Amino acid sequence: MIRRTHQDRVIAPSLLAANFGRIQEETTRAIRAGADWMHLDVMDGHFVDNISFGPAVVQAVHESNDVFLDVHLMISRPDHYLSRFIAAGSDLITVHVEADHDVSETLRRIREAGCQAGLALNPATSISAVEPFLGQIDLLLCMTVVPGFGGQSFMPEVLPKIEQAARWREERGLSYHIEVDGGITLATAELASRAGANVLVAGSSTFGAADMAAAISAMRNC
Ligand code: DX5
Ligand code: ZN
């Protein structure tokens, strides 16, 4: 599997918006429609006010499809569950800076296991909260909605945080991806990309599109 850089545009459909009764077929549909990664939104009903799925679903997707698994842990104790998501076949594991763990230690453990490490921050969290960890990550996820549910509206007040993350990356000679997640449509994908994001997570606007391939292609070229 080729390793994409922050210069590549990466389209990552979110499984949260798929038909949970047909996960294997839905994943295959996304890959055939041009998805680069699959974004798996794990929710524990505590860190966010919703429950989605756990390591067993990550493993099922890993075993049934050959696709890069971008696993987003919206859970309070990512350190406690980390080994299970690694064993399930995650390629990249993103944890929240707001969660209840030693962020630096969790990021170290993710990379030590051979996975890529991502760090996420919610819209209300200052970009300064992630600054200490920029040298330890392969991806920074700037949430563009309050996490927990798909189908929400993009929050443009997040754009300056994306721009700051891109500036820091250049100034410090780093190479982390900048990912956005939540309310990503063709229009907001263009705004986020212009601000510096290169990994676009989209649920409703890809799985919900009449023509998923056309939606992904348009998002890739906007
Ligand atoms: C929020 C989820 C959503 C999902 C994408 O916690 O992370 O952002 O992935 O949802 P859409 O693309 O439907 O806004
Ligand atoms: Zn997500």
Range of the domain at 158: 10-221
Is 90 exceeded by the pLDDT of residue 85? yes
Domain presence at residue 1 = no
Q: Which pLDDT band holds residue 2 (cuts at 50, 70, 90)?
A: confident
Check if 50 has its Cβ closer than 6 Å to any atom of ligand 1: no
pTM above 0.75, yes or no: yes
| CATH number of the CATH domain containing 194 | 3.20.20.70
Residue 49 DSSP one-character state: S
Q: Is the CB of 41 under 6 A from ligand 1?
A: yes
> Is residue 169 situated within a structural domain?
yes
Residue pLDDT, tens place only, 62-81: 999 999 999 999 999 999 99
At residue 1, does pLDDT exceed 80? no
- Residue 200 located in a structural domain: yes
Q: What is the C-alpha separation between 19 and 95, in angstroms, rounded?
A: 25
Q: How many residues does the chain have?
A: 222
**Residue to substitute in 121, 149, 154, 185 for testing ligand 1 pocket (most ligand atoms within 8 angstroms of CB):** 149
Give the Cα separation of 179 and 147 in Å (integer): 14
Domain count, the chain: 1
Q: How far is CA 72 from CA 91, 143, 194, in A?
A: 11, 11, 23
Q: Tell me: pLDDT of 144 over 80.
A: yes
pLDDT at 100: 97
Of the residues 41, 44, 70, 79, only one is catalytic, namely 41
Identify whether 5 is part of a domain: no
Q: What are phi and psi of 147, to 5 degrees?
A: -65, 150
> Residues 32-62: pLDDT tens digits?
999 999 999 999 999 999 999 999 999 999 9
Q: Is residue 106 part of a domain?
A: yes
Per-residue confidence band for 25, with pLDDT thresholds at 50, 70 and 90 = very high
- The answer to whether 62 and 69 are in contact (CB under 8 A) is yes
Q: Where residue 198 falls among pLDDT bands split at 50, 70, 90?
A: very high
